[in-house]
Amino acid sequence: MHSTTTKSLRSGGVIERYRGFLPVSPATPIISLGEGNTPLIYSPRLSERVRRAVFIKNEGVNPTGSFKDRGMTVAVSRAIERGATALICASTGNTSASAAAYAARAGISCVVILPAGKIATGKLLQAFAYGAKIVAIDGNFDDALRIVRELGETGDFAIVNSINPDRIAGQKTAAFEIVDELGDAPDFHLLPVGNAGNITAYWAGYREYVARERSTKCPSMLGFQAIGAAPIFYDRIIDKPETIASAIRIGNPASWKQARAAIADSRGAIDMVSDEEILFAQSWLAQHEGIFVEPASAASIAGLFKWCDSEDAVHSFQKIREASRIVCTVTGHGLKDPDAIIRRMNELKPVAATVADVRRAIEL
């Protein structure tokens, strides 16, 4: 018979690996899909560019293709422990895909409230595939989250957005994994920022590892928003956020204050990148490092380029120690959001099935 007790790190999931750091007890039923333990990939071409060691934490290889699964395993396990029979979330796509999968795994229902017409194809498809009850609203993510907060108060649903502290607790395990692999924290950590839960979670994880003497330092946290959706950068609510990176199309982030604290306490920064920079970084990463991510994820890579090309000292890696180590989190898999690239695929025209025609088409 197949053994369920001898599990690899991967199939065990983040609760099994980091139980002592998470809000679970022996009584908590573990709802897991083997999330976490994602690759931290040394990136030679990015490192060459920055002349510092750059690593990519590839969260796109989680079970539903994004970092959300780390927090979802904890949030759903705890919700089941408390007797929940239905989950609810607002989402720009990835949270809903993850919530729907973990609800299916737990055998409970899941309601997802989404901004109509603004969810990337792959993510919406996931919510359908996992059997969620999907409601599209004429509004943006911020409207959806407002509705979810109200519905959550009725007690009929367990909210699994990152306003649920169990989500943040689960997501901090990504910082633990990075330290466990590098032997200490990196000097800089770059990541995209939308609702600001993830930057909050990483910062909590890094601090906790110092407190528990697993590491000697914390990195500076550098968060990147899209230019049309940069409320934290401008320090004001953006009523109509716009960006091609639909995952981070958010004008009023729930964890705004926590993100500000993480940036200030880590001597980091919040910055923004344009849609053009995001799409360039997405293609560059796929074609030079073999890592295909969704546009929102490429914001951290666009940020890295900005910070290595800039003359401005506040935005420059050229001034830091050469031995510095930099980690960029890429948050979601490229296949989730194929629309921008599908347009290029339409250029593909078939040729006759002969060696001569194929050779001509290769143009070599």
Q: Which of 113, 114, 132 is nearest to 64 (CA)?
A: 132
d(CA 292, CA 45): 15
Using the minimum distance from each CB to ligand F0G, give the nearer residue, 52 or 172. Answer: 172
- Indicate which single residue of 218, 296, 304, 327 sits in contact with ligand F0G (rule: CB under 6 A): 296
**Nearest distance from residue 258's CB to ligand F0G, in Å?**
10
62 is a site residue for ligand F0G (CB under 6 A): no
**Nearest distance from residue 354's CB to ligand F0G, in Å?**
43
**What sign does the dihedral 331-95-336-306 (CA atoms) show?**
negative
- Indicate which single residue of 58, 73, 140, 198 sits in contact with ligand F0G (rule: CB under 6 A): 198
Using the minimum distance from each CB to ligand F0G, give the nearer residue, 37 or 96. Answer: 96
271 is a site residue for ligand F0G (CB under 6 A): no
294 is a site residue for ligand F0G (CB under 6 A): yes
Total site size for ligand F0G, rule CB under 6 A: 21
**Nearest distance from residue 51's CB to ligand F0G, in Å?**
27
d(CA 273, CA 276): 8
Using the minimum distance from each CB to ligand F0G, give the nearer residue, 325 or 336. Answer: 336
Distance, CA of 184 to chain centre: 22
152 is a site residue for ligand F0G (CB under 6 A): no
- Indicate which single residue of 31, 193, 273, 291 sits in contact with ligand F0G (rule: CB under 6 A): 193
- Residue whose token pair is 């948050």: 331
d(CA 191, CA 307): 13
91 is a site residue for ligand F0G (CB under 6 A): yes
Q: Please state, as a whole number, how many other Cβ atoms lie within 10 Å of the Cβ of residue 284.
A: 17
7-22 burial, b for 16+ CB within 10 Å, e for fewer? eeeeebbbbbbbeebb
Segment lying near ligand F0G (by CB under 6 A), choices 101-109, 130-138, 188-196, 313-321:
188-196
247 is a site residue for ligand F0G (CB under 6 A): yes
CB 278, CB 242: distance < 8 Å: no
d(CA 314, CA 319): 9
- Indicate which single residue of 43, 58, 92, 173 sits in contact with ligand F0G (rule: CB under 6 A): 92
SS (H, E, C) 203-241: HHHHHHHHHCCCCCCCCEEEEEEECCECHHHHCCCCCCC
Contacts of 18 (CB under 8 A, 6+ apart): 173, 176
162 is a site residue for ligand F0G (CB under 6 A): yes
Contacts of 273 (CB under 8 A, 6+ apart): 224, 225, 226, 227, 281, 299, 302, 303, 306
**Nearest distance from residue 66's CB to ligand F0G, in Å?**
5
**Nearest distance from residue 210's CB to ligand F0G, in Å?**
22
- Indicate which single residue of 173, 220, 258, 331 sits in contact with ligand F0G (rule: CB under 6 A): 331
Q: Which residues bind ligand F0G (CB under 6 A)?
A: 66, 91-95, 162, 192-198, 247-248, 294, 296-297, 331-332
